[in-house]
Amino acid sequence: MLSYRLLKNHAGILLVGDYTSLRWLHEVVHDVNERSPLVRDKEGMFLGLAYDVRKAYEQQREILKAPEHYEEIGLRYGVRILWPVLLLQQRMLRSSLAYLDHTAKTQAIAYALETIIEQALLEDFGQQGKDAVALWQRIDPAQPSVFEMLGSRGAIFCSWTKAERKRRFLYLLTSFDPLYDSYYTLRLQRGEKNLVSPGELALWANAEWPDPKW
């Protein structure tokens, strides 16, 4: 079964699972990566989800022992994933299934991942959580440049403080819209604050990602 723990500073989640659940997720991501017409870079960021969970169940990331007096929970494994990365990976997984024949196992693991992300967003961002969920579910991975956008969005997200992430995360999610540059001008004219400007994103386009302090 998949579960999560929030990371520090609104950075993302520790994705947690038992050995079998993480193996299933690894297999599903590899299968979708291979067959999905939406995945253009077969060695790209989407496949990175499979790499991360494999490292987890191979005990090369976080190892979580069963809580005291609850030994029946058993040993679990976890891996840290940043919010912008995980949200795009999940959207690629969910959207790709519309184009592919798939099994009940694939559906089960996809829904499990979606469920914990939704719960974690609501917990991490409080009153803004519902808006974060809605914006995440509107991200369209069919646009060819969406994972290219992640380069600048991930870098700027890592550079933010805890307070900045709380304040600006929703605006970062809106920036994945292909018409964002036009929307930005209109929203700026309406006096909206905490927007992520196209100029900021351009500055971070080819930058290394700073330490996210997670």
- Does the structure show a pLDDT above 80 at 71? no
Q: How confident is the model at residue 38 (pLDDT cuts 50, 70, 90)?
A: very high
- Average pLDDT (152-161) is 97
pLDDT of residue 118: 98
Sign for the CA dihedral angle at 76, 81, 83, 88 comes to negative
CA distance from start to end of the chain: 24
Quick one: DSSP state of residue 2? E
- Domain chopping of the chain, boundaries: 2-126
Distance CA 140, CA 129 (A): 19
Please return the burial class of 23, using the count of CB atoms within 10 Å of its CB with bins 0-12, 13-18 and 19+: middle
pTM above threshold 0.85: yes
- Average pLDDT (35-41) is 95
- 2-20 pLDDT tens trace: 999 999 999 999 999 999 9
pLDDT of residue 147: 92
Distance CA 57, CA 113 (A): 16
- Does the structure show a pLDDT above 80 at 70? no
Please return the burial class of 191, using the count of CB atoms within 10 Å of its CB with bins 0-12, 13-18 and 19+: exposed
Compute the half-sphere exposure of residue 168: CA atoms within 13 Å on the CB side of its CA: 21
CB 209 within 8 A of CB 154: yes
Pick the closest to residue 86 from 181, 41, 142, 153 (CA basis): 153
Quick one: DSSP state of residue 60? S
- Does the structure show a pLDDT above 90 at 144? no
pLDDT of residue 178: 87
Question: What is the token pair recorded at 108?
Answer: 């089960």
Question: What is the token pair recorded at 169?
Answer: 């995360």
- 163-205 pLDDT tens trace: 999 999 999 999 999 889 888 988 888 888 889 999 999 999 9
Residues 6+ apart with CB under 8 A from 193: none
Residues 6+ apart with CB under 8 A from 124: 6, 10, 13
pLDDT of residue 68: 77
Would you call 6 helix, strand, or coil by DSSP?
A: strand
Compute the half-sphere exposure of residue 143: CA atoms within 13 Å on the CB side of its CA: 14
